[in-house]
Amino acid sequence: MWDAGRVRDVRDWLGPGDLTHWKARAIYQTLTGLDRAGRSVPITELPAVIAAGTYHDSRPGAVTAVDLHTYLRATPATPAASAQFPARLVHSNHVVYARRVLEAAARDIVAAAGSRIHAATQRSRERPDLGASAIQAALAQTQQRLRELRRRLRHAQGPPGSLITAALDGPLPADAPLLEPAGIWPGPPGSPLSTRVVIEAEREVLTACLTNPTVRAELLEWLSPGDFSRPEHAATWAAFNTLTEAGTPLDYVTLAWECERHHPDYDSPGLPPDQLATMAAHTPGISGPAVRTVAHASLLRHTDAAREQVQVISEDRGADALTVVSAAEKAYQQVAEHAHRLSSTTTTSAVRRARAALEGIDTPPGAPPRWATPAPTPPPTESPQRDHWRGR
């Protein structure tokens, strides 16, 4: 509707029947009909043309100016977005959207023809477990204790479970050097890591990545879907990854489609389109504490999972002591790898670079990060109607 000429890019392969919702279909039929008739109609007169019903098969007058306004407001890369960010070249993703609409229609057509069609499982992800009880320092000490235990086991007697329990709970050997935690966090998370704090931090990170490509590029390098506590957040993050790897233009529309594709893998369709639309309307920004909270909470979950795993291993009375200790060491080694990734200097430098890019400033290497207060969030604008979405 913003540029009627765009319909020529898609009309040869996208039919009106591919659009599920009758309002969208009526608008598309009108736009293609006008173009074929060689008529050019200003957008202000479009409601009257659609209401006349000359070019579509829906009831005349059923599509109102309010409907058109809703569609225009809900579409990314509109002139409004261009006015908001005048320095940026605003692209239209209409071909990308049309391709997705066709794909959705093709799925239905194939199914209607009596054939089976399923989204392929694209990847699996590690499932974060619940709870948190230890962090990196404890992890380092645990690994030390296990190494010490392995040394002593060669001479010890008793069931492996009791030996492991004693080793993990007892004091460190006097001659063992104390390992410092990586401690790269610029500071502890601003508030206790309650479930709500973690969820809000995850949403803030997702919002920042949706609204700012620079932030997204930086954070995608080190956060994985398993770092998010909620399945819908993990699925959304996986969708970010997939779209970026495929080089697909990323906005809340393409993200919502990709989330839908990940449904079989993540036990969640990701965040729903209306929530993504609301997030997309936020001012681009990134908060350091939010990023740290996500990483911190992820580490806690992984550590807790390893602790539970060790508990199970230690209760296995059929295994010999050295085997059990080796398995325990392996469990904590996996946590150590997560900890290394999440607490590496990349964590802070990535966000620092993202903030610098956002604010147009150069941050010298090694300079302490300056965590600004998150940008004020404007009230969300009208989100798209859910019935615009196939299958939602």
Partner 1 sequence: MIEHGQALPLMAGYDPVPVRHDGRWWHVPADAAPQAPYVPASLAQHEVFDELAARLALADAALTRATACEGAADEGQDRRR
Handedness of CA 167, 169, 175, 177 (dihedral sign): positive
**In this structure, what token pair is assigned to residue 125?**
């992800």
> Is there binding between residue 110 and partner 1 (CB under 8 A)?
yes
Question: For residues 112 and 178, which CB has a smaller minimum distance to partner 1 in the complex?
Answer: 112
CA–CA distance, 217 with 355 (Å, rounded to integer): 12
Handedness of CA 356, 89, 280, 344 (dihedral sign): negative
> Is there binding between residue 7 and partner 1 (CB under 8 A)?
no
| Subset of 220-259 contacting partner 1 (CB under 8 A) | 247, 249
DSSP state of 111: H
Q: CA angle at residue 323 from 321 to 324, to 5 degrees? A: 65
Question: For residues 3 and 337, which CB has a smaller minimum distance to partner 1 in the complex?
Answer: 3
> Is there binding between residue 123 and partner 1 (CB under 8 A)?
no
Q: Would you tell me the crossing angle of helices 22-36 and 65-74 to the nearest 10 degrees?
A: 90
> Is there binding between residue 17 and partner 1 (CB under 8 A)?
no
Instruction: Give the chain's length.
Output: 392
CB of 153: closest distance to partner 1 in angstroms? 47
Phi, psi of 97 (to 5 degrees): -65, -45
> Is there binding between residue 124 and partner 1 (CB under 8 A)?
no
> Is there binding between residue 360 and partner 1 (CB under 8 A)?
no
Build a one-symbol-per-residue string for 56-95: x at contacts with partner 1 by CB under 8 A, - elsewhere.
---------------------------------x-x---x
- Choosing from 13, 133, 152, 191, the residue that interacts with partner 1 (CB under 8 A) is 13
48 CB-near residues (< 8 Å, 6+ apart): none
User: In the chain, what is the straight-line distance between the N-terminal and C-terminal CA atoms, in Å?
Assistant: 24
CB of 256: closest distance to partner 1 in angstroms? 16
- Choosing from 40, 45, 116, 368, the residue that interacts with partner 1 (CB under 8 A) is 116
Residues at the site binding partner 1, with contacts judged by CB under 8 A? 9-10, 12-15, 89, 91, 95-96, 98-99, 102-103, 106-107, 109-111, 113-122, 247, 249, 261
